[in-house]
Amino acid sequence: MTWLMLLTLLGISLVCAFYGTSLLLWTAAIAAGIFVFAVAGSVPVLSVVMIAAVFAVIAIPLNFRPWRQQLISAPFLKQFRRMLPSVSESEQVALDAGTVGWEGELFAGKPNWQLLKKQAYLELTIEEKAFIDGPVEELCDMMNQWEITHYDADLNPETWDFIKRNRFLGMIIPKEYGRLGFSAMAHRAVLQKISSVSSVAGSHVAVPNSLGPGELLLHYGTEEQKNEYLPKLARGDEIPCFCLTGPTAGSDATSIPDYGIVCKGKYKGEQVLGMRLNFDKRYITLAPIATLIGVAFRLYDPDGLMGDKEDLGISLALIPRDTKGMEIGKRHLPLNVPFQNGPVRGKDVFVPLDALIGGTEMAGQGWKMLLECLSVGRAITLPSCSTGGVKMGALATGAYARIRKQFNLPIGRFEGVESALARIGANAYATSALSRMTATAVDLGEKPSVGSAIAKYHATEMAREVITDAMDVHGGKGIILGPRNYLGRGWQGMPVWITVEGANILTRNLMIFGQGAIRCHPYVIKEMEAARIENVSERTERFDHLLFSHIGFFIRNAVRSLVLGLSFGKFAVVPHDRKTAKYYQKLSRYSACLAFASDISMLTLGGKLKQKEHISARLGDVLSQLYICSAMLKRYESQGRPAADQAILAWAFHHAIHKTQIALRKVVDNFPNRFLRGVMGFVIFPLGRRERAPGDRLTHKVAQLLLAPSDTRDRLTDGIYKSAKSGHPIGQMEEALPQVIRAEPLERKLLKALKHNVVSGITWEEQIQDAIARSVITTEEADILVHVRELVMEIIAVDEFDSEEIQAGQRKPGAKKGLKKDMRRDRPLDTQHAA
Ligand SMILES: Cc1cc2nc3c(=O)[nH]c(=O)nc-3n(C[C@H](O)[C@H](O)[C@H](O)COP(=O)(O)OP(=O)(O)OC[C@H]3O[C@@H](n4cnc5c(N)ncnc54)[C@H](O)[C@@H]3O)c2cc1C
């Protein structure tokens, strides 16, 4: 009976921990349990007294704050202050920037699914929809990726004019400044559609609407700056660019050596207080044609002309192109996706202090401004462009895999190709859901710094996987460049999207979890703040409260991890839907595992976790996959749970959860502390690794969905350019697809007749004639076969050129072959250096 009593009390504790009740409630529940056993009299009195005494020794100090603070919180606080990671100014700004949304729920271990359910599933307004169906469709009609990338190395003047006239460069800025004032969802829809045709045009439209003078001015500009520049940017009278990156400061952007000195000087004939700027920037999108240059630099005030601070910090200024000392360099060539990009340099450029974005008040606030705008830009630009790309990849590869036949079968019917098709389909489903989720967050007023990092990294990585699969499925058709090739440039340009707006390795290893963990954790930031409070008693009081909430949080997540692991997530409270309840249960389980593993990592590694990128990247992967799965479930629910989409959702979901399991397992297996490795392994995987990658039958089902027109395929690829009007090869393929499918039974009839020697002939044309003669097919059926064969030959055709036509570059008159002059070295570098 004593054991029964102990087990009952343990059970009560587990239930309290699982539901995260307060300490007081746990105390009351255990006290009540002891009381009931005592009254029942079935347990020996001595046992009851001993258990009650032990309980009292634990519970009283825990519930009596002064004792608890003295015995536990104060010593712990001392240790915590010693472990507290040093946070640089720029890191602090990064931590403070942005807001936390759904990712915070996932990180905290017990997601409230009702919140996700309640989140709006935003649609475009009538005006926005009309813009997508009107000017955006027209712009897509005008563009030819081959002309742009091979002959013009730019958009042609008519296209540029159309873009400016229709205010594509100012979609997000409010109407009062003459812009379109579009929502993030509309911004996403425009980029998605344009990028499905041309990544060059996509980049040109994306940049001014993302991190750049327009957005910076909108959020931080003074009224005069807004009134002066925003209407001009709206009309395309000014072309903006923004310069942060330089030769020595890439990912580590806060290390920019570019500087400005506050001084007096002459500007437009008048003596004014201003800044003398020196900078060297590269990779700047739109720079070669920009007229208004945004520059980031560190501002110094050695003579105290602005105040008593000498190093004011990173600041941002807007400088007209024709300012004395500005040098707009020539063009870079970003991987045969020749959007306008190049270096910008400044030598003793003098501008008045009015040039500071936000005026003198915002001097030194540059890094914060950039990060806040970046969290919005990153949530939309690359996820939306990637969505356009992956949807196009899914549409085109599905159609091509049905149309292209080898061994007398559409190649999409071969199991090997099915694997690639299923991956493409699932990635398209996931990318679109992900980019929709972050764009929604922006429309709901968030600055999702962690969500946008997840979206940037995973949307571009999924796009990379899709374009690689699409190239494999297309074989030579994807390799031979020319107007008929709709994949090659996308594949070539992929590393650009991986690198810009936070290179992907850095984003995965440092930003998603590194900053995400601290941003999303319900207690860590608050504990760090509390530990820095000057007043000792206030500090201990505040820290004590947070510490015990944190301990409760930790215990709750450990118990939930274990219980949900043992019960396959059954006890999690999830939305009741027969099909998807088990998905929510899995997410609830892994959310608890993530919270538990994160707490152990932060507690034991402290500030060192920053350097342990293997661990933080994998924990970030878990958070990301949970976020992507949530986005997919939101999409499925909001689209009315279409039964026909279940296979694709299932594939994408199991793929993501399998990746989650791999990431968590690697965290456990590589955890530096052996004992904790064992504890984590037991709590997170009590029944071992049970998640499976999508099976072959499911793979087959998903692949088939891409091979023929259907509602699911339409939903999967909605919002991209599909027209055949301007000779766009994908549009033409889409038009041909139903005809090819209708002709398949006839083709099979002909093949069967050939196999059984009912029909013969050396050439295909002779075989057709013989089939008509022997009444295997009618003349009408023969016409269909001939017509479809013509269509297919056109689709599978590739381009050929005269040599001169593919010699894209032209050497300048007098230029020597080989390395450029400034790159040639007469001696090895080391001897040159010594000399
Ligand atoms: C086509 C193009 C357009 C661009 N447009 C603009 C623009 O308009 N304005 C602008 O200011 N900049 C622009 N950039 C710059 C872009 O943002 C940078 O290229 C990017 O920040 C990376 O810097 P980097 O190329 O110098 O690479 P590096 O910083 O040298 O990084 C190299 C590699 O190291 C990794 N790495 C670095 N630090 C870490 C770390 N701590 N942990 C893990 N991995 C790490 C990176 O992820 C990357 O894989 C553009 C770049 C390109 C290529």
* Residue 551: per-residue pLDDT: 94
Task: Find the 378 Cα to ligand 1 centroid distance in Å.
Answer: 14
User: Whole-angstrom Cα distance, residue 323 to residue 409?
Assistant: 64
* Nearest Cα to Cα of residue 110 among 802, 596, 829, 833: 596
DSSP assignment, residue 487? S
pLDDT of residue 674: 94
Bridge partners, residue 187, by sequence: none
Q: 3-class DSSP state for residue 318?
A: strand
* pLDDT value of position 835: 43
Question: How far out from the chain centre does Cα 33 lie?
Answer: 50
Measured from the Cα of 253, ligand 1's closest atom is 21
Residue whose CB lies within 8 A of the most ligand 1 atoms, among 203, 339, 385, 499, for a mutation test: 499
Atom of ligand 1 nearest to the CA of 287: 8
The residue whose CA has the least distance to atom 12 of ligand 1 is 245
What Cα–Cα distance (Å) separates residue 146 from each residue in 153, 336, 482?
A: 9, 11, 6
Report which protein residue has its CA nearest ligand 1's atom 45: 506
Taking the C-alpha atoms of residue 700 and residue 650, their distance in angstroms, rounded to an integer, is 12
Q: Of 243, 283, 332, which is best to mutate to test ligand 1, by the most ligand atoms within 8 angstroms of its C-beta? A: 283
Q: Give pLDDT < 70 ranges for the chain.
A: 85-86, 178-179, 818-835
Q: Give the ligand 1 atom nearest the CA of 251.
A: 29
Phi, psi of 531 (to 5 degrees): -65, -20
Nearest ligand 1 atom, CA 281: 11
Distances, alpha carbon 481 to alpha carbons 487, 488, 489, 735, in Å? 9, 6, 8, 22
Ligand 1 centroid from CA 822, angstroms: 24
* Residue nearest atom 7 of ligand 1, based on CA coordinates: 284
Asked about 501 being catalytic, the answer comes back as yes
Q: Which of 105, 128, 501, 781 is catalytic?
A: 501
C-alpha 499 – ligand 1 centre gap (Å): 6
Tell me the CA–centroid distance for residue 500 and ligand 1, in Å. 6
Of 204, 242, 245, the residue with max ligand 1 atoms within 8 A of its CB, to mutate for a pocket test, comes to 245
Please give the distance, rounded to the nearest whole angstrom, from the Cα atom of residue 498 to the centre of ligand 1.
9
The atom of ligand 1 lying closest to the CA of 334 is 1
Residue 821, pLDDT score: 63
Report which of 497, 401, 470, 424 is spatially closest to residue 478, judged by C-alpha positions.
470
What is the Å distance from ligand 1's center to 249 Cα? 8
Nearest CA owner, ligand 1 atom 44? 506
Q: What is the pLDDT at residue 628?
A: 98
CA of 250 to the centre of ligand 1 (A): 5
Going from the Cα of 830 to the center of ligand 1, the distance in angstroms, rounded, reads 27
- Tell the residue nearest (CA) to atom 50 of ligand 1: 283
Q: Choose one of 203, 211, 251, 337 to mutate for the ligand 1 pocket test, by most ligand atoms within 8 angstroms of C-beta.
A: 251
Q: Which residue lies with its CA nearest to atom 48 of ligand 1?
A: 503
Closest CA to ligand 1's atom 30: 250
CA 566 – ligand 1 centroid, Å:
44
CA 304 to chain centroid: 43
CB 514 within 8 A of CB 616: yes
The pairing of beta strand 341-352 with beta strand 326-328? antiparallel
Measured in Å, residue 141 CA sits from the centre of ligand 1 at 33
* Ligand 1 pocket list (CB less than 6 A): 242-245, 250-251, 283-285, 334, 341, 496, 499-500, 503, 505-506, 509-510, 613
What is the structure's pLDDT at 828?
Answer: 55
CA 697 to each of CA 275, 652, 702: distance values in angstroms, whole numbers, following the listed order: 67, 14, 9
CA–CA distance, 347 with 234 (Å, rounded to integer): 30
166 burial level (CB within 10 Å; 0-12, 13-18, 19+) = middle
Give the Å distances, CA to CA, from 588 to 38, 184, 472, 493. 38, 29, 37, 38
Q: Note the Cα 600 to chain centre separation in Å.
A: 27
* Partners of 409 in the β-ladder: 406
d(CA 235, CA 230): 9
pLDDT at 831: 53
Instruction: Please tell me the residue having the least CA distance from ligand 1 atom 2.
Output: 283
Based on the number of CB atoms within 10 Å of its own CB, is 697 exposed (0-12), middle (13-18) or buried (19 or more)? exposed
Q: Contact 772/758 with Cβ under 8 angstroms?
A: no
Residue 241 CA: nearest ligand 1 atom is 8
Dump the DSSP string for 247-303: SS-SS-GGG---EEEEEEEEETTEEEEEEEEEEEEEEEETGGG-SEEEEEEEEE-TT
Q: How many C-beta atoms lie closer than 10 Å to residue 362's C-beta? A: 18
